[in-house]
Structure formats: structure tokens, C-alpha cells
């Protein structure tokens, strides 16, 4: 028990009623630093207290203890032997004698340093809270002032904004509009009280309005929706709206774009007028060049025909063949020019077939080498796994030759012409730049080591109304013709050029999935005589009497029976009345109520197995492209050589 008393976690004191200390445990002595022999019987407890503590002891503690015989948790500071003050909590009880006389005061002392620190921290926290409360009141006042300023600023923006600001309901009623609404559309807030959104709309924009309202009802914001609104004066104004839904409300910002629309329309009209003016100017230049070339060709044909007449009169029959060959050569040049013009205008009907490009490129090598001359080295690179394409072989050969000649003109001192083909796959980005759908393509590149093109020339290289050549030195349709053919074939053309380095022109043709049929059609450079066929009955329909008579004589000389008609109606009557007709040869652009396509359809209805050969110089106005893929139907473009016509007739009759 003695050890428990001495080393308890609290201090123990026993004092006489006057405060004299008669007993103290070791814990108290350790806390205060006093020695037992200096304390017991020599010190009163109140002597260990500061002055304020002594006063409190005499005036409160001692009287209260006498009355209640115990006190609890009174706070005192005890002065230690070192002079330091130690906060303590006191619990004291008074022991009396049998007669009630006070005998002894027993006191338990607890170390209150942690509690004192807690109380001090609590006091500081209370003071900080009071200070924070002051700050909060000050901040709240500042926020109220700021809110008032922002509200005033918002009201100023609402009133001064040049754009329409409005709040409305999802069911189409305006709740509030700013002054700009009245300025732009004329309607006042009082007017709008009886009007809905739809009442202000142009009648043609109601469908757009309803779609946008459905989107807003679904919680989707609308940005940049342009609709026409009815002004109070009856005019129309174009308004671009940004609308954000908020529960049952709509917050709207509208910008008047009427003047922008009017300016854009005016600019468009000016651009169209400028384009038309440039077009007419270019057509004048183009017409001059074409007229010059055609006049030269007509002079060559007419001159050779006149010389043939003279040689015939002189009996020099052997000399006539030379003039015949010369006239035919000039006619071939005229034919090529017409085909260039038609291809450029995208009005020439193509005969696309599955083609292995290695065949036409290899076939054209000799002609290309002859055309570019010995000072230019021709290199051709073709992979064995090159995919087939669906294109018109003749047009491809012409395009390739045209590119080779352009490359030759860019290398007057000689150089290298590299022709290559390879399989490529275009992703979405690459295809977008070329304006073709993504997928597999075959890229044919024609590269020279010539002078290259300036940027301004390269940007206008495909413009048919742009040429750097003087009148009389070509039509300037070469690249335009190539672009027209490639686009008709579903592909694209790209030019890469660097000054003093050279130019590369790349043709992209879509891959054809399927077998490549054996090409029985003669190349454009091939000539020959048609194999004779058995006698057949041919219906010849063409409004050009001279050509009709010429072809009839040619067919008759081949042993065929020929029926002639000058229009579709007459041709149909012959089809109905004649017992046997093996082949219909008809122009596409026939006069009257029935063109060549309609005649062919009627003929096939009467005679499903009838063979048909279209002859035309302008195959755009009726769609006959589909017929080219049907059995027993083909097309020839005017002008054509008679031996080509004979060969085509023979092929159809044999099919």
C-alpha cells in the first residue's frame, strides 16, 4: 500500500486545517522538486500558491471546504521549487473529529498541463472562430456588393448587347427579351406576350424549327441554327441562334446575319459573273486555237482531195494513194482532237472493261519511245502482282501518250522519263485529299527530270481555260482530258512538281475485283481489215444523209442487205414490217420524238436477240453506258474509220 501511495500517477497531500503540510507522496515531490524534509511541517499548502491562488484559497477554497467537507476539480497553479508554475486540479476532503472539530485535509492533485494546453488551444480556437466569423461577415458583405455589381453589369450587358438575348419556355413562349430583340425584329415585349416562337417564323423554315425544338426537348443544345424570322414591318431577317435548354426554360442568343447573307449572295453573284466573264474570255482563246487547228486540218483534207481530182483527170492513178493516205492522217488528227474535247467536257461515253494495265503500258512503250525521241531515256517499272482496273483501254493509252509528250516538252535537253505502276491502299485521310472513297487503287506515275512547274502553273494545270502555249500550238486540253477520263473512271489525278527537278503526275484508278477477260478489241494503234461475214440484213438509222449513204454503200459492198431510215419513228416502222433484221445501226441523237436509245429499247422489246451498234459523236444526253455491258450491244464514236466500222459490224454479227 505504501508503494501505491508513493508512486501513484497523481499527487497526494495531507494538511492540517491551517494548511500545514504533514504528508506528501513521492509523485508530488517529483513534480514540484521539493525535498520531503524541507516541506513537511515547514510549509503550508497556500504558501505554494501564487498570490492570486492564496487569495482564492482563503476566500473560496477554505470556506467552501468547511461547509461542504469536499471540493472537486478546482484549478490551482502550484509554484515549484524552481519557481516554475505547474497547473493542477485539486480534489480535497475534510476529516473531522467525533465532536466535529476539523482534523485533516486530504488532497489529490492531478497534472493539468495537458488540460491547460487544451484549454488554451480551445481559447485560441474560440478567438480564431470569432475572428473568422468577422471575416465571414465581411466576406458576405463583399459578396453581396460583388453580386450587386455583377447583376448591374449583367443588366447593362442585357440592355446594351447588339445580339438578341431571350429566355423562353420549352413550349414556345417568350418570358423575357432584351432591347436588341425589338431593335432587330421590331416586336416589343408586350407584342410577344401574345405570340409564340412559331408565329415569328418564315413559313418555309417551320420544318427546321420543329426538328430543333425536338432536339431541345431531348436536352440537346442548339448552336448556329439559322432561320428566317418575320419582322414586325413584314420583312424577313436571318437570325443565327444558340439555344441551351435548362429544365423547362430555354436560354437563347440570336445574331442577325441578314446583311452577311446578303453580302455573301452579292459576292456569289459577282463570282459567277466573273467566272462567266473569264469563261467567255477563255472560250474565245480556246476557240481561236481550235479553229486554227481545224482550219489547218480542213485545208490538208481539202487540198489532198483536190490533188486526187487532178491526178484522176491526169490519169495518174498510182499517185492518188499518197494523197489518200495524207488525207486519212489529217482526218485521224481531227478525230483525236474531237475525242479530247469530248473527254474534257466529260461527255464522251467510255467503254470500260477489266484491264491489266501491264498490257497497254507495255504495248505503248514503243510508241512512247518514238514520240519522246532518243535524247530521253524511258524506264518502265511494273510489278507482277498489279491489280486489274475497270477502264477504257483506248482512253488510258491516249492519256499515257499525252503525259509522255508533256514530259518530253519539259525536257528539251533530254532526260529520263519514268513510268511505274503499283498497288496502293488509301485510308480515309488520303482518300479525302484526292476526293475519292477509301480503298484499293492502282497508282500509275509518270515522272520526268525536266524544268518543273511554278506553283501558280501547277495550281491551274487542270484548268481547261488556262494555257501557256500561244494560239496555234495546241488546244491546251491535254491534262483536262486526262482528268476527265480518270474521274469518269472513279479515280483521281495528283501533280507533284519542283522547279529545276522535275514533275510527277500520278493517276489513281480503283482496283477491279474480278477476272480480266481476254481483250479481243484492237488497240487504238492497231489497224487491219475485217474478216468477211455471211450476208446479213442491217437496219441503218441516221439523220445525216451523207453518212447514212456512205455506210449503206460500205455494208452493201460487204454483201449485206441494208434498210435505211432518217429518224427513230421511221426506223421503228421498218423493224415492225421487216421479217428479218440481224443488226440495228443507229445514231443516238436522232431528231423527232424518238432518240436512238428509245429506238433500241423498242427494238429489243420486239426482237430480244437483235444486235445493236450505236454510232454517236455526243453520247452524254442519253444514258447508254449500261447498254455497253449487255450482250450484243456496242458503241462507236464519230468520226471513225470505215475499216473500224466494218470490223465492229463483223464482230457483232459473229457474236
Question: What are all long-range contacts of 38-45, with beta carbons under 8 Å and residues at least 24 apart?
Answer: 44/15, 44/18, 44/19, 44/20, 45/13, 45/15, 45/19, 45/20, 45/21, 45/107
Dist CA 283 CA 277 (whole Å):
10
CATH classification at residue 193: 3.30.450.20
Look at residue 65 in the predicted model and tell me its pLDDT.
92
On whether both 580 and 468 belong to a single domain, the answer is no
Look at residue 467 in the predicted model and tell me its pLDDT.
57
On whether both 249 and 265 belong to a single domain, the answer is no
Q: Is residue 294 part of a domain?
A: yes
Residue 511 DSSP code: B
On whether both 187 and 56 belong to a single domain, the answer is no
On whether both 434 and 560 belong to a single domain, the answer is no
On whether both 231 and 281 belong to a single domain, the answer is no
Q: Is residue 138 part of a domain?
A: no
CA 592 to each of CA 173, 204, 284, 538: distance values in angstroms, whole numbers, following the listed order: 61, 41, 32, 22
CATH classification at residue 479: 3.30.565.10
Strand 611-616 relative to strand 633-637: parallel, antiparallel, unpaired?
A: parallel
On whether both 311 and 205 belong to a single domain, the answer is no
Q: Is residue 621 part of a domain?
A: yes
Domain boundary, last residue among 53, 79, 111 = 111
On whether both 359 and 501 belong to a single domain, the answer is yes
| Alpha-helix runs per DSSP H in 466-613 | 478-488, 545-557, 568-577, 596-606
Q: Is residue 525 part of a domain?
A: no
Q: Is residue 365 part of a domain?
A: yes
Q: Is residue 444 part of a domain?
A: yes
What residues are paired with 85 via a beta bridge? 79
Look at residue 347 in the predicted model and tell me its pLDDT.
47
Grid cell listed for 520: 479481243
Look at residue 27 in the predicted model and tell me its pLDDT.
93
* Residue span of the structural domain in which 267 resides: 261-344
Note whether 411 and 476 are within 8 A (CB). Answer: no
Please say if the pLDDT value at position 629 is more than 60: no
Binned at pLDDT 50, 70 and 90, residue 462 comes out as confident
Look at residue 274 in the predicted model and tell me its pLDDT.
63
pLDDT tens column, 483-518:
888 998 999 999 999 998 999 999 999 999 877 755
Q: Is residue 180 part of a domain?
A: yes
Q: What is the overall mean pLDDT for the chain?
A: 84
Q: How many domains does the chain have?
A: 5
Among candidate residues 46, 116, 55, the one with its CA nearest the CA of residue 78: 46
In what helix (H) or strand (E) does residue 176 lie, and over which residues does it extend?
A: strand 174-177
Note whether 240 and 225 are within 8 A (CB). Answer: yes
Q: How many residues comprise the chain?
A: 655
pLDDT tens column, 336-361:
666 656 554 544 556 788 999 999 99
CATH classification at residue 563: 3.40.50.2300
Whole-number percent of the chain with pLDDT over 90: 42
Please say if the pLDDT value at position 5 is more than 80: yes
Least confident of 229-238, 248-257, 393-402, 598-607: 393-402
On whether both 359 and 269 belong to a single domain, the answer is no
Complete edge-to-edge strand list for the sheet that includes strand 11-15: 21-24, 11-15, 102-111, 85-96, 70-79
Burial class (CB within 10 angstroms; exposed 0-12, middle 13-18, buried 19+) of 4:
exposed
On whether both 185 and 296 belong to a single domain, the answer is no
Look at residue 289 in the predicted model and tell me its pLDDT.
59
Domain boundary, last residue among 291, 314, 344 = 344
Dist CA 239 CA 255 (whole Å):
5
Residue 423 main-chain phi, psi, to 5 deg = -80, 135
Q: What is the pTM of this model?
A: 0.39
On whether both 362 and 490 belong to a single domain, the answer is yes
Dist CA 633 CA 577 (whole Å):
22
Dist CA 462 CA 409 (whole Å):
17
What DSSP string runs through 385-454?
Answer: TPPPEEE-HHHHHHHHHHHHHHHHHH-TT-EEEEEEEEEEEE-HHHHHHHTS-SEEEEEEEEEE-S----
* Mean pLDDT confidence for 174-193: 91
* Mean pLDDT confidence for 306-324: 83
Domain boundary, last residue among 321, 344, 367 = 344
On whether both 77 and 199 belong to a single domain, the answer is no
Give the other-Cβ count within 10 Å of 252's Cβ: 21
Please say if the pLDDT value at position 528 is more than 80: no
* Mean pLDDT confidence for 119-131: 76
Among candidate residues 196, 142, 134, 140, the one with its CA nearest the CA of residue 170: 196
On whether both 373 and 473 belong to a single domain, the answer is yes
Q: Is residue 532 part of a domain?
A: no
pLDDT tens column, 195-228:
888 888 888 888 888 889 899 999 999 998 899 9
pLDDT tens column, 545-566:
888 988 999 999 889 999 999 9
Maximum Cα–Cα distance across the chain: 184
Note whether 438 and 426 are within 8 A (CB). Answer: yes
Mean pLDDT: which of 283-287, 363-367, 591-595, 611-615 is highest? 611-615
Note whether 423 and 511 are within 8 A (CB). Answer: yes
Look at residue 164 in the predicted model and tell me its pLDDT.
92
Amino acid at each position: 500500500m505504501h508503494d501505491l501511495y508513493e508512486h501513484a500517477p497523481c499527487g497526494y497531500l495531507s494538511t492540517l486545517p491551517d494548511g500545514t503540510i504533514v504528508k506528501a507522496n513521492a509523485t508530488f515531490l517529483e513534480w514540484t522538486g521539493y525535498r520531503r524534509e524541507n516541506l513537511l511541517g515547514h510549509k503550508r499548502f497556500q504558501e505554494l500558491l501564487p498570490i492570486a491562488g492564496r487569495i482564492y484559497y482563503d476566500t473560496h477554497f477554505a470556506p467552501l471546504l468547511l461547509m461542504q467537507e469536499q471540493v472537486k476539480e478546482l484549478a490551482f497553479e502550484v509554484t515549484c521549487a524552481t519557481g516554475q508554475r505547474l497547473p493542477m486540479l485539486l480534489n480535497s476532503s475534510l476529516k473531522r473529529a467525533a465532536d466535529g472539530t476539523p482534523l485533516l485535509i486530504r488532497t489529490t492533485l492531478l497534472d493539468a498541463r495537458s488540460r491547460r494546453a487544451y484549454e488554451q488551444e480551445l481559447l485560441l480556437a474560440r478567438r480564431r472562430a470569432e475572428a473568422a466569423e468577422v471575416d465571414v461577415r465581411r466576406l458576405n458583405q463583399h459578396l453581396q456588393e460583388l453580386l450587386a455589381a455583377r447583376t448591374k453589369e449583367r443588366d447593362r450587358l442585357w440592355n446594351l448587347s447588339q445580339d438578341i438575348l431571350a429566355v423562353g419556355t420549352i413550349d414556345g413562349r417568350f418570358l423575357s427579351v432584351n432591347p436588341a430583340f425589338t431593335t432587330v425584329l421590331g416586336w416589343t415585349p408586350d407584342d410577344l406576350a401574345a405570340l409564340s416562337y412559331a408565329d415569328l417564323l418564315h413559313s418555309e423554315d417551320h420544318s427546321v424549327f420543329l426538328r430543333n425544338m425536338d432536339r431541345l426537348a431531348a436536352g440537346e443544345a442548339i448552336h448556329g441554327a439559322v432561320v428566317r424570322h418575320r419582322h414586325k414591318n413584314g420583312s424577313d431577317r436571318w437570325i443565327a441562334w444558340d439555344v441551351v435548354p435548362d429544365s423547362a426554360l430555354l436560354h437563347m442568343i440570336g445574331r442577325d446575319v441578314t446583311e452577311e447573307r446578303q453580302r455573301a449572295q452579292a459576292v456569289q453573284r459577282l463570282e459567277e459573273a466573273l467566272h462567266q466573264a473569264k469563261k467567255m474570255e477563255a472560250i474565245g482563246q480556246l476557240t481561236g486555237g481550235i479553229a486554227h487547228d481545224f482550219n489547218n486540218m480542213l485545208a490538208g483534207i481539202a487540198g489532198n482531195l483536190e490533188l486526187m481530182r487532178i491526178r484522176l483527170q491526169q490519169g495518174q492513178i498510182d499517185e492518188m494513194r499518197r494523197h489518200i493516205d495524207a488525207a486519212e492522217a489529217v482526218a485521224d488528227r481531227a478525230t483525236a482532237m474531237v475525242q479530247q474535247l469530248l473527254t474534257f467536257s466529260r461527255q464522251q461515253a467510255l467503254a470500260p472493261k477489266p484491264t491489266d494495265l501491264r498490257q497497254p503500258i507495255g504495248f505503248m512503250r514503243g510508241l512512247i519511245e518514238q514520240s519522246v525521241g532518243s535524247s530521253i531515256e524511258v524506264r518502265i517499272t511494273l510489278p507482277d502482282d498489279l491489280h486489274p482496273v475497270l477502264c477504257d483501254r483506248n482512253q488510258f493509252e491516249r492519256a499515257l501518250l499525252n503525259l509522255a509528250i508533256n514530259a518530253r516538252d519539259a525536257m528539251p535537253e533530254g532526260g529520263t522519263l519514268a513510268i511505274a505502276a503499283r498497288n496502293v491502299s488509301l485510308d480515309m485521310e488520303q482518300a479525302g485529299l484526292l476526293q475519292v472513297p477509301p480503298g484499293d487503287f492502282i497508282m500509275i506515275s509518270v515522272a520526268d527530270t525536266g524544268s518543273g512547274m511554278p506553283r501558280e502553273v501547277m495550281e491551274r494545270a487542270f484548268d481547261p481555260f488556262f494555257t501557256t502555249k500561244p494560239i496555234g500550238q495546241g488546244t491546251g486540253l491535254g491534262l483536262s482530258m486526262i482528268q476527265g477520263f480518270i474521274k469518269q473512271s472513279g479515280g483521281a489525278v495528283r501533280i507533284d512538281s519542283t522547279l529545276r527537278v522535275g514533275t510527277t503526275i500520278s493517276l489513281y484508278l480503283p482496283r477491279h475485283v474480278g477476272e480480266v477477260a481476254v481483250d479481243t478489241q484492237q488497240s487504238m494503234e492497231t489497224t487491219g481489215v475485217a474478216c468477211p461475214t455471211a450476208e446479213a440484213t442491217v437496219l441503218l438509222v441516221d439523220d445525216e444523209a451523207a453518212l447514212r449513204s456512205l455506210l449503206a454503200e460500205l455494208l452493201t459492198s460487204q454483201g449485206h442487205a441494208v434498210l435505211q431510215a432518217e429518224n427513230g419513228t421511221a426506223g421503228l416502222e421498218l423493224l415492225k414490217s421487216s421479217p428479218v433484221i440481224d443488226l440495228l445501226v443507229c445514231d443516238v441523237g436522232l431528231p423527232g420524238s424518238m432518240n436512238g436509245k428509245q429506238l433500241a429499247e423498242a427494238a429489243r422489246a420486239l426482237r430480244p436477240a437483235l444486235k445493236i451498234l450505236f454510232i454517236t459523236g455526243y453520247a452524254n444526253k442519253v444514258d447508254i453506258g449500261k447498254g455497253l455491258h449487255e450482250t450484243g450491244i456496242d458503241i462507236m464514236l464519230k468520226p471513225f474509220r470505215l475499216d473500224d466500222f466494218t470490223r465492229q459490224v463483223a464482230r457483232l454479227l459473229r457474236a
